[in-house]
Structure 1
């Protein structure tokens, strides 16, 4: 009798323990549960590419900005944007956040097709200066025939940033391959950019012809220290 009672008690304990184990298995995450934690699925924390919105302004070099102006200049009316909007589409990095004189030269086959600029700073940063100076080169250039749409694929650009204007007393102080020249007399003046002349004497002759200053007239000479971007 005692033996039978002990057997019944042991059987009841085994059945009770089994029922508890089954219940815990059903509720255990990752085993029988359909709930999967983010720790067990690392990709759950990764953002899908389509969820990213592109809000950063594009950072570009000065020559690329100038070429964007050229493309916009010849864009269909429905696709053309204002110069203000075009300027705002580019980020202004720290090294461009300066005021400086700037020239934009569009050329084809090594020959100038349009050039415009100023030795003195006009705009608050180099991005805005490049945008507006490039457009001026396309609209205000009077020494060369206007650039046509058919030429676009062959047009290249150079952006020259004027860092310093230094008065000099002689052409012997010029290095035309690296320095620009500003020549002034009687309210007239002309700029020859680096690389446009082969030697100092030629650089001064070019500047006199460009400004309409006779060879016998005295003039002021300034060496332009520049950064050239191609």
Structure 2
């Protein structure tokens, strides 16, 4: 728990996403602080959802994904949506998608989702990085 690494914390209620916030690179002094900060942020700061209420707390499920260091890949053949998360990066944009997500079955879908999240157009060149996660549920 003293290591520094990127972490994503996702919150679900009744199997549906309720909040998800994370860091690609660590911003806190240790893994425990990274998890704590991202867990609170997932419940209170995800702009896609209203803040989690106190009465919801007993109904929530949490997933913590600890990221490995991203590695640059040159071809989509090196990707696998079940095993690897994906980061796409341009000089001024970056997007990420965690691995093994329901409804994401192909590398093409994974790339399209990350491009959309990052605002990367089809005409923009980008660099690809893959990473693995250690998932705790």
Deviation at 1:116, TM superposition (A): 0.8
Structure 1's unaligned 5+ residue stretches are 1-95
The TM-score with structure 1 as length reference comes to: 0.55
Name the residue aligned to 2:136: 229
Question: Which structure shows the bigger proportion of residues in strand conformation?
Answer: 2
Corresponding residue for residue 112 of structure 2: 205
1:133 to 38, 45, 66: 38
Aligned ranges for residues 66-215 of structure 1 at < 5 Å? Answer: 96-196=1-101, 197-215=104-122
Bigger Rg over Cα: 1
Aligned residue for 1:217?
124
1:32-86 alpha-carbon deviations (Å, 9 max, x no partner): xxxxxxxxxxxxxxxxxxxxxxxxxxxxxxxxxxxxxxxxxxxxxxxxxxxxxxx
Cα distance, 1:148 vs structure 2? 3.0
Structure 2, unpaired ranges of 5+: none
Question: After TM superposition, where is structure 1 displaced by more than 6 Å over at least 4 residues in a row?
Answer: none
Kindly state the Cα deviation for residue 185 of structure 1 after the two structures are TM-superposed: 1.7
Counterpart-to-counterpart distance in 1, 2:122 and 2:12: 29
TM-score normalised by length of structure 2: 0.88
Paired residues, number: 135
Q: Distance in 2 between matches of 1:110 and 1:214?
A: 31
